[in-house]
Amino acid sequence: MKPSSLRPSSPAVRLRSPTSLTASTGPPSPTASVSSSTTLSEQSTLRRTQKRGHLCHVAVRIRPPSDNEDRKPIWVVDEQQSKITLSEDFAIETGRRRIDEFHFDSTFYGSDNQHLYNVAVKRAVLSTMEGIDATVFAYGQTASGKTYSMMGFEEQPGVIPQAVDDVFSYIVNQPGDREYLLRVSYMEIYNETIRDLLNPEQTDLRIHEHRTRGVYVSPLKEEIVTTPKQLMKVISRGEANRSVGATDFNEHSSRSHTIFSLTVESRRRTDTSGRPESPALSDRPSKKDDKGVTVSQLNLIDLAGSEKATEDAERRKEGAFINKSLLTLGNVISKITEETNTHIPYRDSKLTRILQSSLSGQSRIAVIATLSPTAKNLEESLNTLKFASRVKRIVPKPEYTLILDDKALIQKYRREIEELKSKLNDTNLMLERERQMGSQGGGLSDAERQRYEEQLHESLIFGDMQARTALKERIDHLTKLILTSSTITPKPLMDWSMVDKTGGNRSSVMLSSGLLPPADPVARASMVFDPRTGRSSRLPVSMAPAAAGKPGRGGVLNRQLSDRAFIQKHIEEIDKRDDRIAKLEEFIASIKASTKEVSTRSKISEYEKEHNIIFKAEFPKLDFAAGGAAHGASAAGASDVARLAQQNRELEVVVQEHQHQIEMLKKKLEEAQDLIRFGEADHLEMTKMVEEQHEFIEALKERNISIERELKALRG
Ligand SMILES: Nc1ncnc2c1ncn2[C@@H]1O[C@H](COP(=O)(O)OP(=O)(O)OP(=O)(O)O)[C@@H](O)[C@H]1O
């Protein structure tokens, strides 16, 4: 079946479920989900923005002056009226005839990231959970507070960690009749080149356009996430690969635009026949989307800051790319908001091309325009305000996307789970039948029955039961990836309850330590991200610049190369082992397929010829030439046949043992791969695992040696 994405042409502000023509049957509205930590003033702002900003919310935030900046404010921020004005004193001082006044959907002054998120971003995030794409970005000159707003610090988690918490809380608070699959990607645009922050070795990322999928980047690594902490670890891993450098204005300046995307797939829970899973869950009116998967995307974007020319050549080059792409963004937005139908130059920069779908109206938008408070940045601040005013004129017309075929991962996994469950059922029935036949004896003689039972035992241990375990494991694994309100524990990253206890002092918010950098710049400079643990840790300050690869005014910080090399080495090692395991399995399968009589030995000889290296490595001490000769002599006499039959049995034991060991090895390696994938592998743990694997191999070799001795003794 062809992929079919339903995009009904509904009016922009009348969001309708693609499946239902009445809005009332949809999931609860975002307003209903506003958390208890939203203050009264925030709620009134939300109500107001519902009317004014609605699908495009533009917020402007002015950061407090830093220690070495002039403390005298040049801007007056009226949060109640969502207004920003140039201070009268400053206007008079500088001879400005007119006092500039700007109105937005919300305005902020200060460091409170939770308030900013609740008012300006939360609704966009919740929209995504309800099937509407949303794009959130921070725009402003360098050092104005974009990263502070988007990522934040341990003490002031920004938009991204708060959005992560909200996404999982949303699922937990659902009635249980929907299931979700979350996948994430993280990329950056550095000097007009796209880099995959979750897979930095991948270099040739390209932008493609598809009739139903729209504009997308490929090949881009996507990871499925199942907990807030795991998601934050993926982000930290991406952050560690981000291009960051020291500029004249910001010690820790983002030199690239980053786009973090969370794709939410959701569907109504049904059994294989498409009926609701349980009567209790079926009391909601049936909707057309019961038959499909709703797919939506949340893009969280931290743009690089515009900046003036600098003396450093590398920085100048970066700055030119940054300024050009921001200029294109401005141009694109002004063309979009023009009444006339003009050509929109999306293709003039990678940023606008990637954001094409979002900017052209298919996504809900939230923009945080950040300003520096000082007089010396007045010109840039006015430019940012003009940009923000232009964005305010965008009228998004987002629509639900419904996938009706197996293209959605959640659907594919559900189907696979059902198929596996049915296979598991068949295997169970087969085992039961075999057991019954074994106990009834089926008219066999005692000797025959004993032999049959031995074979059955072998097949139970090494055949059907293994298949059953493998099936169960795969079912468990897939089931864990699909989230429902009852499968995830509401373990938020942040404990906002601390806010109330401390009378509104939000700096005491708790966040699982190590997932975000500390606010203190000295401590931050000494943070080193460890991809094996997925955590940032602090080094003694004296070591920090070297460890963080501080470039002075020079090159980009591509941190932790050695750590990546470490992981890469292990992945290669694991790949090699996988290869060996695959070949060994093939060998074992061929032995099992052959007769249980002496021909096994000749089979080994043949295999030895074909797979010289593998076989010699795994069975180094066995004398196969002698084995071949012995096989040749098998016709010579009954005693030889008996002896070979005995050897054959011994070899089969070895093979079974190897198979068992290999299964264990495989499991260990899969675990290691998972650990590496989710950034949870710890150096000691990895070393222990590798040592264990060596021990297994040694054990296999020792076993071979003792078998060889026994065989030699048998041969006399
Ligand atoms: N609202 C705020 N409250 C307190 N400190 C802030 C705030 N915004 C920014 N800062 C501080 O200002 C400095 C610059 O902020 P940040 O790195 O977020 O700027 P940026 O706009 O992302 O810069 P660049 O474009 O160079 O990456 C940081 O030290 C940050 O901690």
DSSP states along 330-380: HHHHHHHHSSS-----GGGSHHHHHTHHIIIIISEEEEEEEE--SGGGHHH
Closest ligand 1 atom number to CA of residue 247: 26
* Beta carbon of 490 within 6 Å of any ligand 1 atom: no
Residues annotated in a binding site: 140-147
CA distance linking residue 386 with residue 104, whole number of Å? 11
First vs last C-alpha separation in the chain: 67
CA distance linking residue 285 with residue 105, whole number of Å? 36
The answer to whether 522 and 539 are in contact (CB under 8 A) is no
How far, in Å, is the centroid of ligand 1 from the Cα of 66?
Answer: 9
* Beta carbon of 141 within 6 Å of any ligand 1 atom: no
Nearest CA to ligand 1 atom 23: 143
How far, in Å, is the centroid of ligand 1 from the Cα of 45?
Answer: 25
* Beta carbon of 258 within 6 Å of any ligand 1 atom: no
How far, in Å, is the centroid of ligand 1 from the Cα of 148?
Answer: 5
How far, in Å, is the centroid of ligand 1 from the Cα of 257?
Answer: 15
Residue 123's region, left for phi above 0, alpha for psi from -120 to 50, else beta, is alpha
Q: Report the SS3 class of residue 176.
A: coil
Domain 5-19+44-403 listed as CATH 1.10.10.10: no
Q: Which helix (H) or strand (E) holds 296?
A: strand 293-302
How far, in Å, is the centroid of ligand 1 from the Cα of 251?
Answer: 10
**In the prediction, which pLDDT does 528 show?**
41
* Beta carbon of 146 within 6 Å of any ligand 1 atom: yes
How far, in Å, is the centroid of ligand 1 from the Cα of 690?
Answer: 43
Nearest CA to ligand 1 atom 14: 143
Closest ligand 1 atom number to CA of residue 113: 1
**The pair of three-digit structure tokens given for residue 38, joined into one six-digit string:** 């939203």
Residues annotated in a binding site for ATP: 140-147
In which residue ranges of the chain is pLDDT below 70?
Answer: 1-53, 97-99, 243-254, 270-291, 306-316, 401-407, 430-446, 448-468, 489-716
What residues does each domain of the chain span?
5-19+44-403, 408-488, 560-716
**Judging by beta carbons within 10 Å of its beta carbon (0-12, 13-18, 19+), is residue 611 exposed, middle or buried?**
middle
**In the prediction, which pLDDT does 588 show?**
56
* Beta carbon of 253 within 6 Å of any ligand 1 atom: yes
The answer to whether 406 and 415 are in contact (CB under 8 A) is yes
* Beta carbon of 145 within 6 Å of any ligand 1 atom: yes
From the list 488, 491, 494, 430, the residue with the least C-alpha distance to 459 is: 430
How far, in Å, is the centroid of ligand 1 from the Cα of 24?
Answer: 42
Nearest CA to ligand 1 atom 13: 143
Nearest CA to ligand 1 atom 15: 145
CA distance linking residue 568 with residue 562, whole number of Å? 10
**Residues in the chain, how many?**
716
Query: Ligand 1: which of 68, 112, 147, 150 to mutate, most ligand atoms within 8 Å of CB?
Result: 147
* Beta carbon of 243 within 6 Å of any ligand 1 atom: no
**The pair of three-digit structure tokens given for residue 416, joined into one six-digit string:** 């696979």
**In the prediction, which pLDDT does 515 show?**
56
Q: Is the bond preceding residue 219 a cis peptide, omega within 30 degrees?
A: yes
**The pair of three-digit structure tokens given for residue 3, joined into one six-digit string:** 């992929």
How far, in Å, is the centroid of ligand 1 from the Cα of 403?
Answer: 40
* Beta carbon of 151 within 6 Å of any ligand 1 atom: no
From the list 35, 209, 188, the residue with the least C-alpha distance to 125 is: 35
Closest ligand 1 atom number to CA of residue 304: 25
CA distance linking residue 334 with residue 711, whole number of Å? 84
Which residues does residue 152 pair with via DSSP β-bridges, in sequence order?
Answer: 157
CA distance linking residue 206 with residue 213, whole number of Å? 15
**The pair of three-digit structure tokens given for residue 633, joined into one six-digit string:** 């002599």
CB hemisphere CA count around 423 (13 angstroms) = 17
How far, in Å, is the centroid of ligand 1 from the Cα of 610?
Answer: 63
Helix axes 228-240, 159-172, angle to 10 degrees: 160
Which residues does residue 224 pair with via DSSP β-bridges, in sequence order?
Answer: 183
Question: What ipTM, to 2 d.p.?
Answer: 0.98
- What percent of the chain has pLDDT above 70? 47
Query: Ligand 1: which of 63, 67, 117, 300 to mutate, most ligand atoms within 8 Å of CB?
Result: 63
**The pair of three-digit structure tokens given for residue 128, joined into one six-digit string:** 């995504």
**In the prediction, which pLDDT does 173 show?**
86
Closest ligand 1 atom number to CA of residue 519: 31
Query: Ligand 1: which of 109, 148, 156, 322 to mutate, most ligand atoms within 8 Å of CB?
Result: 148
* Beta carbon of 250 within 6 Å of any ligand 1 atom: yes
SS3 content of the chain, % helix, strand, coil (to 5): 50, 15, 30
* Beta carbon of 305 within 6 Å of any ligand 1 atom: yes
* Neighbour tally for 191: CB within 10 Å: 17
Diameter of the chain measured on Cα atoms: 116
How far, in Å, is the centroid of ligand 1 from the Cα of 433?
Answer: 69
* Beta carbon of 517 within 6 Å of any ligand 1 atom: no
**The pair of three-digit structure tokens given for residue 74, joined into one six-digit string:** 């040049």
* Beta carbon of 411 within 6 Å of any ligand 1 atom: no
* Beta carbon of 143 within 6 Å of any ligand 1 atom: yes
**In the prediction, which pLDDT does 681 show?**
46
* Beta carbon of 118 within 6 Å of any ligand 1 atom: no
CA distance linking residue 94 with residue 571, whole number of Å? 62
**In the prediction, which pLDDT does 93 show?**
82
Nearest CA to ligand 1 atom 16: 145
Nearest CA to ligand 1 atom 31: 148
